[in-house]
């Protein structure tokens, strides 16, 4: 990220068919999350976000976008590629949950074990992981860079950057105020 690029307060990228969505795409509240599966702050935020989404499932949808911080998280890119490859088999929500709930390091061996445990076709998963998954991750990272993002988690509520606390209470209140 260039030092001259200031982070945007709005997410100019509309939800698109390539995005990974958890919940109803028709929900009136869109939570777009730029995230890194290995990031300690993202991992701390995950249960708060999960509780919020469980509570607001009728009105809120999560749009997940990859922002692996590979300079500080050595397993982040492979974790993102795992999510991309699982998503191609319709299992993004399952792998998203598994990646955040595992206590294991996100090594390639453990990532492949997670993929197997959620019932993926492993031949197809390995092919997608090696050949096409990087493209989806790259697209998300480039989109984040265009708006000056370089930190995770970064959350947008209906396109406006959320700068509140990453707690169930604060997030629930912000959603209710929309």
Residue 119 CB contacts under 8 Å (≥ 6 apart), including other chains: 91
Q: How far is CA 14 from the centre of its chain?
A: 15
Flag whether 58 is in a domain.
yes
CATH number of the domain at 79, please.
3.40.30.10
Residue 125 lies in a domain: yes
According to the model, what pLDDT value does residue 53 have? Answer: 96
pLDDT digits (tens, 9 = 90+) for 20-67: 999 998 899 999 999 999 999 999 999 999 999 999 999 999 999 999
How many domains does one find in the chain?
1
Torsion, Cα 69 139 27 114, to 10 degrees, reads -60
Residue 20 lies inside a defined structural domain of this protein: no
Question: Contact at 8 Å (CB) between 36 and 42?
Answer: yes
Residue 6 domain-assigned (yes or no): no
Per-residue pLDDT at 120: 98
Residue 16 in domain: no
**Beta-strand relationship, 20-22 and 60-66:** antiparallel
* Domain with 114 in it: 27-176
Q: 71-129 pLDDT, tens per residue?
A: 999 999 999 999 999 999 999 999 999 999 999 999 999 999 999 999 999 999 999 99
Q: Is residue 8 part of a domain?
A: no
Closest CA relative to residue 177, chosen from 155, 157, 153: 157
Phi, psi of 177 (to 5 degrees): -80, -10
């Amino acid at each position: 990220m260039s030092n001259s690029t200031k982070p945007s307060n709005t997410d100019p990228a509309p939800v698109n068919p390539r995005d990974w969505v958890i919940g109803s795409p028709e929900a009136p509240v869109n939570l777009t999350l730029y995230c890194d599966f290995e990031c300690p702050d993202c991992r701390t935020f995950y249960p708060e976000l999960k509780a919020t989404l469980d509570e607001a499932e009728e009105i809120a949808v999560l749009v997940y976008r990859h922002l692996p911080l590979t300079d500080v998280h050595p397993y982040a890119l492979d974790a993102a590629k795992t999510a991309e490859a699982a998503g191609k088999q319709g299992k993004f929500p399952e792998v998203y949950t598994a990646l955040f709930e595992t206590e294991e390091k996100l090594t390639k061996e453990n990532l492949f074990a997670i993929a197997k445990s959620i019932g993926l076709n492993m031949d197809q998963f390995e092919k997608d992981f090696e050949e096409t998954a990087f493209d989806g991750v790259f697209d998300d990272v480039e989109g984040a860079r265009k708006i000056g993002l370089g930190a995770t988690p970064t959350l947008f509520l209906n396109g406006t950057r959320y700068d509140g606390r990453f707690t169930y209470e604060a997030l629930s209140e912000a959603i209710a105020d929309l």
